[in-house]
Structure 1
Amino acid sequence: MLENIGWGEILVLVVAGLFILGPERLPSAAAWLGRTVRQVREYATGARQQLRDELGPEFDEIRKPLEDLRELRNFDPKRAVTRHLLDDGDSDFRAPDYRATNNGYSDYPPPAPRPAQKPLQPHERPPFDPDAT
């Protein structure tokens, strides 16, 4: 929870606390905050241990899907798509290889060869296809 807070943020909080509480009450407020955070952690650890004791081996079966959900929270779709499109490793999203079916023969005929295109001459108009527009 607090692992994402850096030294800059802590410094801003201390300065804001100095302005809001004053130098007299800031140490006691920091001590109170520390005790409260420690107490909340102890409650959470106690609740987890109580669940583990009551559920026994079923606790691990419940915990696994929750860990999977935690991994989804850090899911980056851009990185996942890039990894699946550009990596050569095994992927679930890989296109099927039709050449490997039916003993090396494809179900589809090979594509017809495209006619060679010659370059346009100067001031020549490119071909126009009214159906394509």
Structure 2
Amino acid sequence: MFFGLTIEKLLVIGVIAAMVIGPERLPRYAESLARLTTQFREFLRNAKTRVRDEMGDDFDDVDWRTLDPRQYDPRRIVREALLDDAPVPTVRAAQVGAAIEATSPPPPPGAMRAFTPDEPPPFDGEAT
């Protein structure tokens, strides 16, 4: 099958094209289609050669089937993303940070720290 078209469908399309184009112009159109197909194959062959030349030895190591866009099912991608382990938190929450801050040494300069609700946030007058 070619892009979901069967032989029967191609035959029906060919018969309709022959009736629309007419017997006088059909040979010219068939020749143009053959020339276009040949040019397209040559273009693909040249593109593959250029990619092989630019990638070098890594070209043979690539599993091209994994790059096929037809294999990507959005439902599967979402399902796998939801089933992944939750990321490890890297920033402490404000409530936990305040409790830890009372028992831990002061953070190094530039480190994040928790603020209390009555404390004004830092302000950099040169940044605005």
Give the TM-score of the pair, scaled to structure 1: 0.46
Q: Which has the higher contact order (CA 8 A, sep 6+)?
A: 2
